[in-house]
Amino acid sequence: MDKWVLYGKSGNPASDIAKAWLKNNGIPSKDYSVFQLTREEIARLADLLPGGAKELVYPDIFSFWMINPQKKTEKDYIQKIHSGELAEEEIRDILATYPALVISPIITDYKRVLIGYDLETMVSTFRFVKVKDVTMA
């Protein structure tokens, strides 16, 4: 049975839906908050992505602000990260310091990484995953 990890944010609808989808489909997963991501975990995830750590970051300030309206300092980094003026190691350090910049949910088995909630991608990814024996009471 594959072991999956879900990094999410409490109260983020996409994270809550992904968590429920995994449970409803019998996909065993361990849940963590994106705020528990370490520098090493960020590097491990980024190494699986063609675009590196930049792919873990919200694509624009507006989408970040919709999920994190209380975060003021972090939003300034989004444009810097996507402009290409920062090196990969700098981006990883910023994400370790400001994990709210990380899109959630992130679902991984450390061979594959799914970022954000996308039903089609989840269905195709988990099509051949062995699931728990789910029986109805």
- Per-residue pLDDT of 26-77, as tens digits, reads 999 999 999 999 999 999 999 999 999 999 999 999 989 888 888 888 888 9
Which is higher by pLDDT, 108 or 3?
108
pLDDT reported for residue 130: 65
Please name each of the domains of the chain with its CATH number.
1-37+102-137 (3.40.30.10), 48-101 (no CATH)
Q: How would residue 2 be classed by pLDDT, with cut points 50, 70 and 90? A: low
Structure pTM?
0.86
The CA distance from 135 to 92, in Å, is 42
